[in-house]
Amino acid sequence: MKVAMIGYAQCGRSTLYRAAAGGSVKGDFTAVPVPDERFDTIVQQVQPKKQTPATLILHDDLDSVATGGKAFSQKLIDQAKKADLLLHVVRAFENPISPYHAEVDPQRDCSNLEVEIVLSDLQIIENRLERLQKSTTVKTPGSTDYLDKVSLEKFKAALEEGRPIRSLDLTEDDQNTIKSYQFLSAKPMVVCFNVNESDAGSPTEAVKKAMAGLAEIGTESFVACATIEEEIAQLDPADQGEFLASLGLTVPASHLIVRAVYDALGLITFFTAGENDTRAWPLRRGSSALKAAATIHNDIAKGFIRAEIVHYADYVAAGSLDAAYSAGKMSLEGKEYVIQDGDLLHIRNKS
């Protein structure tokens, strides 16, 4: 899953990016492992030659120089359009050198950035609708141009009211149109309020109010102090817990990001436990065994015969995968089986 980080100048976006990257940044993209005690347990039991946790790919334009208060460089916009989710970092800390919105106002910054996204999408739609007027097939029901026009007019009406595309009930045709244009306001969003160190364990009333407003529209949010998180990321893992506890925190920012992204995208995790490679895989909740097979490899999905399923609780109770099989805890399922969070999966396929 790809996550694009956005936010106004001096919001601490790149500091949070470095913190999530474990304090070591080698470029604009970093893979953030998904913490999962279940995966650790499976790895410890299987002792595979290779272990691959589920990961989120974060993107931040480290070379951007924000001017004029803009939240996006063109480079970042291009990457954001390819992302599965936008992570908006909002300044909720005092910063006398901030070149934009000198007074701390997290609600204002949330609202203003949303307006920028909405206006950007609206401009694209207006330009496209203008070109569609010259199309010879735009009035032919079922044609690509006709379906585009219907969806674009629906989006335009919402955007003109200040509502992002993600707030709409979308049809399959709408989703196809979105894929063609990669509208930013159609993408799920998570908001991180970057606070002062003193507020890391207990956010201010202004932040609480902004979070409550986001919750009302179904937007996930969390609080972090990016500067502290960057320091924590540079500590030995054995020392991180004590430092977090001293600040009234329980987990580092990378965990908060993962949790919020998983919730926003409706993700679960399934596992493949092999001696050569044991892996954790993110998957949309409600997905079928066939979709899980395709997540592993398209060829596996094409040759799908049956899915061998062991629920994680049964695996732990048995003590090993072999023991779970011997105890009759493996079930054979077809393509339509809905994968459950924590399922251990093996696909029988035509190889």
Token pair 């969070």: residue: 341
Q: Is domain 117-185 in CATH 3.30.460.10, yes or no? A: no
Which pLDDT value is given to residue 65?
Answer: 44
What is the gyration radius of the CA atoms in the chain, in angstroms? Answer: 23
* DSSP-H helix ranges across 12-168: 13-20, 37-46, 74-82, 106-132, 144-160
Cα distance between residue 290 and residue 287, in whole Å: 8
| pLDDT greater at residue 68 or residue 294 | 294
Say whether 90 sits in a helix, a strand or coil. Answer: strand
Confidence of residue 345 (pLDDT cuts 50, 70, 90): very high
CATH code, residues 2-101+187-264? 3.40.50.300
Domain ranges of the chain: 2-101+187-264, 117-185, 286-349
Lowest mean pLDDT of 39-48, 50-59, 90-99, name the range.
90-99
Same fold, 2-101+187-264 and 117-185: no
**Range name among 216-225, 265-274, 299-308 with the lowest pLDDT average:** 216-225
203: tokens are 């956010």
Q: What is the pLDDT of residue 23?
A: 67
pLDDT-derived band at 101 (thresholds 50, 70, 90) equals low
Q: Tokens for 211?
A: 């979070």
User: Rounded mean pLDDT of 105-127?
Assistant: 93
The residue whose two tokens read 């989006």 is 155
Average confidence score pLDDT of the chain: 91
Q: The tokens of 22 are what?
A: 């474990």
286-349: CATH topology: Ubiquitin-like (UB roll) (3.10.20)
The phi and psi torsions of 135 (rounded to 5 degrees) equal: -75, 140
Number of neighbouring beta carbons within 10 Å of residue 339: 26
Task: Grade residue 66 by pLDDT with cuts at 50, 70 and 90.
Answer: very low
**Of the ranges 2-11, 92-101, 241-250, 268-277, which one carries the lowest mean pLDDT score?**
92-101
Q: Name the band, by pLDDT with cuts 50, 70 and 90, for residue 67.
A: very low
**Residues contacting residue 241 through CB under 8 Å, at least 6 positions apart:** none
pLDDT value at position 68? 47
